[in-house]
Amino acid sequence: MRKFVSQDLKIESFADIEPYYSTLLTTPLTSKTQVDEWLRNWSELDAVVSEDCAWRYIKMSQNTADENAARSFEKFVTEIEPHIAPKENELNKRFMLPEVQVHINKSELFTMIRSVKTNLEIFREENIPLQSQLEQLEQEYGKICSQMSVEVNGKTLTLQQAANFLKDKNRDVRKSVYEKINQRRMSDKKAIDELLDKQIALRQQIAQNAGFDNYIDYRFKALGRFDYTVDDCCHFHDAIAKVVVPIVERIHAERKAKMGVDKLRPYDLDVDLYADKPLRPFDTIDELVKKSMYCFRDVAPEFGIMINNMNIAGRLDLESRMGKAPGGFNYPLHETTIPFIFMNATNNLRDMVTLMHEGGHAVHAFLCDNLPLVSLKETPAEIAELASMSMELITMANWHHFFANDDELTRAKRIQLEDVIDALPWIAAIDKFQLYLYTHPNHTHAERSEAWAAIKKEFGSSLVDYSGYEDYYNNQWQKQLHIFEVPLYYIEYGFAQLGAISIWKLFCENKNEALDKFKLALSKGYSLSIPEIYQCAGIQFNADESYIKSLMDFVTAELAKL
């Protein structure tokens, strides 16, 4: 229930919310009681405004052909948000005044304090219109990809739907669909390359306006990376190349031998070697939701209730369809407190795991909802992805709800663990590639492709033969939406994946103790530093080579049991 913002407020323009910012900027702050109420009011306004923006983004993503939805979101980022930014900057300045800080519990709000300091450091008025331009460009990628389709067996399919045929036992079918998908991507290669050119130029300008020599240093500040550096990311890359890539090579060698092929081709990587038909964990979206609720319930009863409440509230949009933006996300809605899950399910194992993942984000949002301020609920990805990636692994004990057949259950777990291993080199490659993009901002398209090819070779398997598909190989990075929509955001998945493996290991050893620590960590939101949150979960925030090796030893041992 709103106490500061009118219950009847509808945001049609900045004028509708400007009085609330004016009140916050002029309210007397001479006592702890006044400061506490001011912070609650500021947080409430943030919740109302952010949720208004969230619904505009969700509706646009649900149907990229809906011009009204697109205009609504564009209006927010071009006509409303630019006016909010300077007001937020003034509020940040007021928050940091000594006479206000004296009434603030610095130990409880230290993460907010350091974030506000950073925001003040990097804020520049002249960057507001540039940020608006960037937000519009970031939606272009989704619009381009949402229009991609191919024809298979006389049916027009989204690329996500067509990708199911890459699991077909018939190698000719896989080859044909692989070529169709990649050729379709190549038809938009130039448009996507040129889109990234515009984004890089704008991002560089924003960084320079804020007094930074390069976008990487600016972005690390903007992302609030207080607990690790660029060098730490590079050490992660090196460790993954040394420890994980050889494991991927061994898995591919086993695959090649079991398939009995002379050459392992890129369209051979997704087919299940242990059965004639791909795993089909559900037939309908209703079945996906129902079985997922059982999986979450068996981890903790309240988790199942959370997913059920989302379903009842209409906060699940799961099926793939033409015109729908690519990818998947969980959007926390801080005012109504029930998050929204968006994804593109096409009835395969990956879809089931994606709902476990996004459901982990949703559980996280529910568990930290009791925190007093929105700023404490907005967790950095290193924490947010810990929740989601852990849920992928700890729900495996309950996947019998999807697979009554023991052989199918074993296959599903094997595929999941191989995917966990395989994901780490991809994460390292994408992060290293993004570092290249912004340390060489004036590169050509040809240089961009060459850089990707060299990086992918470092983190890819030498056993996969891309002969004849070199253009596809050099263009693989274009399918990673983070490069376009959330730049330099992806290494977080790597750190979180290591943490998730650690949490899963604890669950295997003592579920009840691990569950208590897991829930405690998630309930903290961002009231503690990243290492402290990990410590609450009973694990380390660590990406050293020896640590990664110990985790990979555990995963490969569990894989060997299947």
Question: Mean pLDDT lowest for which of 44-58, 318-332, 515-529, 537-551?
Answer: 318-332
The yes-or-no verdict on residue 274 having pLDDT over 90 is: no
* Average pLDDT score over residue span 51-79: 95
Sheet of 340-345, strands arranged across: 316-319, 340-345, 329-331
pLDDT in tens, 500-539: 999 999 999 999 999 999 999 999 999 999 999 999 999 9
Most distant CA pair in the chain, distance: 77
Lookup: tokens for 464: 């996969």
Q: How confident is the model at residue 428 (pLDDT cuts 50, 70, 90)?
A: very high
* Average pLDDT score over residue span 531-555: 97
* Average pLDDT score over residue span 227-256: 96
Say if CB 494 and CB 386 are below 8 A apart: no
The yes-or-no verdict on residue 171 having pLDDT over 90 is: yes
| Per-residue model confidence (pLDDT) at position 541 | 97
Mean pLDDT for the chain overall: 95
Listed in sequence order, the DSSP H helices in 18-126 are 18-26, 32-62, 67-75, 81-95, 98-101, 110-122
Taking the C-alpha atoms of residue 520 and residue 533, their distance in angstroms, rounded to an integer, is 9
Which residues make beta-bridge pairs with 184? none
Q: How confident is the model at residue 327 (pLDDT cuts 50, 70, 90)?
A: confident
The yes-or-no verdict on residue 41 having pLDDT over 80 is: yes
The yes-or-no verdict on residue 273 having pLDDT over 90 is: no
Report helix angle 406-439 to 445-459, nearest 10. Answer: 140
The yes-or-no verdict on residue 196 having pLDDT over 90 is: yes
Lookup: tokens for 515: 């569950």
* Average pLDDT score over residue span 280-302: 97
Q: How confident is the model at residue 256 (pLDDT cuts 50, 70, 90)?
A: very high
Q: How confident is the model at residue 383 (pLDDT cuts 50, 70, 90)?
A: very high
| Per-residue model confidence (pLDDT) at position 85 | 93
Token look-up 């407190």 returns 337
- Our CA dihedral for 287, 288, 291, 294, rounded to 10 degrees, sits at -130
pLDDT in tens, 96-124: 999 999 999 999 999 999 999 999 999 99
* Residues ≥6 apart with Cβ < 8 Å to 150: 156, 157, 159, 162, 177, 180, 181, 184
| Per-residue model confidence (pLDDT) at position 326 | 83
| Per-residue model confidence (pLDDT) at position 366 | 98
The yes-or-no verdict on residue 368 having pLDDT over 90 is: yes
Total Cβ atoms within 10 A of residue 355: 30
Buried b / exposed e along 233-265 (16+ C-beta atoms within 10 A): beebbebbbebbbebbeebbeebbeeeeeeebb
* Average pLDDT score over residue span 142-166: 92
The yes-or-no verdict on residue 276 having pLDDT over 90 is: no
3-state secondary structure of 559: helix
The yes-or-no verdict on residue 433 having pLDDT over 80 is: yes
